[in-house]
Amino acid sequence: MKDSAIQVDGARLANELEELAAISDAEPPAVTRVLYTDADLRARAFLKKRCAAAGLAVREDALGNLFARWMGSTPQAPAIGTGSHTDAIPHSGRYDGTVGVLGGLEALRALRASGFQPRRSLELLMFTSEEPTRFGLGCVGSRALSGATDAKSLAELRDPEGQRLDDVRKAAGFGGDLAQVRLAPDYYAAFVELHIEQGPLLERESVPIGVVTAIAAPAALRVELEGAGGHAGGVLMPDRKDALCAAAEVVLAVEAAARATHGPDTVATTGVCKVHPGAINSIPNKVVLEIDIRDVALAPRDIALKAVKEAVAAVAAKRGIQARVTELNADPPATMAPAVVSAALKACKKRGYEARQMPSRAYHDSLYMARLFPTGMIFIPCRGGVSHRPDEFSSTDAIRMGVEVLAETLAELANT
Amino acid sequence: MKDSAIQVDGARLANELEELAAISDAEPPAVTRVLYTDADLRARAFLKKRCAAAGLAVREDALGNLFARWMGSTPQAPAIGTGSHTDAIPHSGRYDGTVGVLGGLEALRALRASGFQPRRSLELLMFTSEEPTRFGLGCVGSRALSGATDAKSLAELRDPEGQRLDDVRKAAGFGGDLAQVRLAPDYYAAFVELHIEQGPLLERESVPIGVVTAIAAPAALRVELEGAGGHAGGVLMPDRKDALCAAAEVVLAVEAAARATHGPDTVATTGVCKVHPGAINSIPNKVVLEIDIRDVALAPRDIALKAVKEAVAAVAAKRGIQARVTELNADPPATMAPAVVSAALKACKKRGYEARQMPSRAYHDSLYMARLFPTGMIFIPCRGGVSHRPDEFSSTDAIRMGVEVLAETLAELANT
């Protein structure tokens, strides 16, 4: 490490990550924090307390996006933003998103302690619901902030219990006008997100920092299959329209579609399979699948998407089953801003850390921030590339190095 | 209808079935009443009230099996039992089981109103948890009564939340010693259960009554598949061990096994498919399947059972996934007692109703009662053979005719 006035306290950050991990609806080491649940709200309270202790001015918008600002010497100039999310899918790990939020906070504290005086304001941002767990749609907060999805559509989203997002957010204490959530295009001069890689490349190549050049284009489908139920003993095989057997064929078609496309990076996953009525002695009459298809390139992803839709239609026709396919989202990929990529690479050089330019195959709130603002991402390695699992792990040193690069990048962006 | 002193009140019974259907955790017309839930307990309270109003002496055992007795003139003689269950799988119908419970009550009321004097006591029996919804095991009550499953094994059953049956039954108000639940072999001289067919034969042939000769042999498997999870964007296809893709192959193998066996009556169903963690952007790391395989003959069922086990092993080996197969039960078929079959056929003749002798492909508490007592079943038609669905339906007339035959059968058995 070369000399720098900016000193990141890795141990303090590790303690905070541990405290945050304990705010969860799962048995440790698993973490579960679903939008607007008690665990989510307690995590927000924890973060607000830490931000206030760091002397940042905290505000929340009508969706619960949380902003913590360190006022610059030219407060009217567009600010520099950094941040990520603290929500966690069921039984996942403690680093996804949280490293960018608590690491962002640590970067601001380190900058302040170093005597750094920002010209532009520096702002930490915790996005509401990056994970799609509750409403089937990811990046709820950043979609609203960037205007990628309009406030009315978000308000009408329903969770599996049929509750409207608009009602749930109000019950969680977030009132106010959803239409006011969208940010002005000059709100940030740049946005940069620190995140674990969620893939194996950095670890495999022993490179401590990834500077992201593009974010993969995700598409999400919901497939509802409706056949005919009945008693598992009473209906002979030729008379059946078993929705789970149809779903099984779709699940295998999703896997085959990703394997068959020309893009070696195409991945397709059926992550949700809900069976009704879901009793051992009852023929499934309805199954809901949720499917995620993505690639760093748009063309092979869309080939796989088309293949899955065709497979659903073929299975439904063959089995005499009703099928409904809903495209939950199918966004284009995002290119990271050259100015932010340069600032991040310069920061790595200053610190003497090797860096690798790379795409992100996971999506992030930065995908949507990139629609309005020059945006970039900094990746750090995670063990085995594992994420969304309880054994997700990044070392205290790896996180510290990421925060150092983030802090240097923010300093560069704030004063140029 | 020929002359008989026994007058069944079909309208009263229809009203009671409607009242019972309203005690449910599902939106009408669907019915959900799962063991020891509030709906289950309220249904029991409703039944106890009606039994008391009919002058029957009510008792409950340590599992919640409910007995309502009309004392005969020779009370020390083994009694004649009739009954069924009131629990209902999620989103099912209102006739499965309830016709045998409330119909059994109506039969006793009709016999008493006719001036009939039983020599043996007549007893209505409502079995606890015929459906396997909560603990993955069907016929909990009748297994315990017959000694088919010992009290200790039943006590240790766990529901999906990990709660022990023994704790849950006590919390529901059923204390006492589980070891005392088992009945003595001379408790009943005969047992007869009225039930909807849950198949299409009686309706198709326009025959109002089925007299059951044997009950199909059910087998139930739980298959746990454990692969490797991870972020849906971060893990490339060749590196995956997706538990849901493996499960999909098993589901299709279950279907194929039933279709491939030589028994035309073999049916196999995967009714439960639980996916962990169950998020759209997470690769499933674990899936639990529950599989029901049955046939009126033992040999083809066991061929299908073997084929499914082999398929699980092959899929697991191919995909590098851990598989655990638990045989939840695999009981032999039960033959109905000639004396009860004769009494039921004689009752049909007396009433002038055409009857058809037939096997039951669904299992019932009578499967276990038959281990201890001479047992028989009376079937009535249900529309389209549909059961375990909200549109399950038997007409008031069809039910009345079934209760008339039940009452005549009970009279015959009680005094011979």
- Residue A293 contacts residue A258 (beta carbons within 8 Å): yes
Average pLDDT (B343-351) is 97
pLDDT (0 to 100) of residue A204: 92
pLDDT (0 to 100) of residue A43: 98
Cβ within 8 Å of residue A396, ≥6 positions away: A10, A11, A13, A14
Which domains occur in chain A, in start order? 10-216+333-414 (3.40.630.10), 218-330 (3.30.70.360)
Where is pLDDT greater, at A230 or B211? B211
Three-state SS annotation for B38-68: HHHHHHHHHHHHHHHHCCCEEEECCCCCEEE
A183's tokens? 């940010």
pLDDT (0 to 100) of residue A377: 98
ipTM over cut 0.90: no
A385 contact B CB<8A: yes
pLDDT (0 to 100) of residue B3: 54
Q: Which chain A positions have a beta carbon within 8 Å of B136's beta carbon?
A: 280
From first CA to last CA, the distance across chain B in angstroms is 24
For residue A164, the cross-strand partners are A158
Mutate to test the interface with B, among A223, A265, A281, A331 (most CBs of B within 10 A): A281
Distance from A397 to chain B by nearest Cα, in Å? 22
Whether the per-residue pLDDT at B264 is higher than 80: the answer is no
Whether the per-residue pLDDT at B263 is higher than 70: the answer is no
Q: Which chain A positions have a beta carbon within 8 Å of B330's beta carbon?
A: none
Quote the CA–CA distance of A200 and A198 in Å, as a whole number: 7
Average pLDDT (B353-367) is 93
3-class secondary structure, B161: coil
Q: Which chain B positions have a beta carbon within 8 Å of A292's beta carbon?
A: 232-233, 280-281
B329 contact A CB<8A: no
Record: contact B361-A234, CB cut-off 8 A = yes
Whether the per-residue pLDDT at B2 is higher than 70: the answer is no
Mutate to test the interface with B, among A244, A301, A308, A365 (most CBs of B within 10 A): A244
Distance from A153 to chain B by nearest Cα, in Å? 20
Of B233, B272, B362, the CB nearest to A280: B272
Distance from A126 to chain B by nearest Cα, in Å? 20
Whether the per-residue pLDDT at B1 is higher than 60: the answer is no
Where is pLDDT greater, at A265 or B221? B221
Where is pLDDT greater, at B347 or A232? B347
Record: contact A252-B248, CB cut-off 8 A = yes
Pairing between strand A267-276 and B88-92? unpaired
Task: Phi first, then psi: give them for residue B378, nearest 5 degrees.
Answer: -120, 125
pLDDT, one tens digit per residue, over B285-343 is: 999 999 999 987 888 899 999 999 999 999 999 999 999 999 988 888 889 999 999 99
Amino acid at A252: L
Distance from B152 to chain A by nearest Cα, in Å? 23
Distance from A93 to chain B by nearest Cα, in Å? 10
Quote the CA–CA distance of B376 and A336 in Å, as a whole number: 74
Quote the CA–CA distance of B60 and B41 in Å, as a whole number: 12
Cβ within 8 Å of residue A75, ≥6 positions away: A121
pLDDT, one tens digit per residue, over B178-208 is: 999 999 999 999 999 999 999 889 999 999 9
A58 contact B CB<8A: no
Record: contact B275-A278, CB cut-off 8 A = no
pLDDT, one tens digit per residue, over B91-120 is: 999 999 999 999 999 999 999 999 999 999
Q: Which of B361, B379, B393, B377 is nearest to B295 (CA)?
A: B361
- Residue A394 contacts residue A196 (beta carbons within 8 Å): yes
Record: contact B389-A230, CB cut-off 8 A = yes
Handedness of CA B306, B308, B312, B318 (dihedral sign): positive
Average pLDDT, chain A: 94
Average pLDDT (B223-241) is 91
3-class secondary structure, A399: helix
Taking only the tens of pLDDT, chain A with its 416 residues reads: 445 789 999 999 999 999 999 999 999 999 999 999 999 999 999 999 999 999 999 999 999 999 999 999 999 999 999 999 999 999 999 999 999 999 999 999 999 999 999 999 999 999 999 999 999 889 999 999 999 999 999 999 999 889 999 999 999 999 999 999 999 999 999 999 999 999 889 999 999 999 999 998 789 999 999 999 988 887 889 989 999 999 999 999 999 999 987 667 889 999 999 999 998 889 999 999 999 999 878 888 999 999 999 999 999 999 999 999 999 888 888 899 999 999 999 999 999 999 999 999 888 999 999 999 999 999 999 999 889 899 999 999 999 999 999 999 999 999 98
pLDDT (0 to 100) of residue B233: 85
Whether the per-residue pLDDT at B350 is higher than 60: the answer is yes
The DSSP output letter for A413 is H
pLDDT (0 to 100) of residue A262: 62
- Residue B119 contacts residue B74 (beta carbons within 8 Å): yes
B138 contact A CB<8A: yes
pLDDT (0 to 100) of residue A1: 40
C-alpha dist (Å) from residue B187 to A228, A312, B68, B122, B406: 42, 56, 14, 11, 20
pLDDT (0 to 100) of residue A231: 86
A275 contact B CB<8A: yes
pLDDT (0 to 100) of residue A2: 44
Q: Which of A129, A109, A133 is nearest to A56 (CA)?
A: A109
Quote the CA–CA distance of B400 and B402 in Å, as a whole number: 5
Confidence of residue B262 (pLDDT cuts 50, 70, 90): low
A276 contact B CB<8A: yes
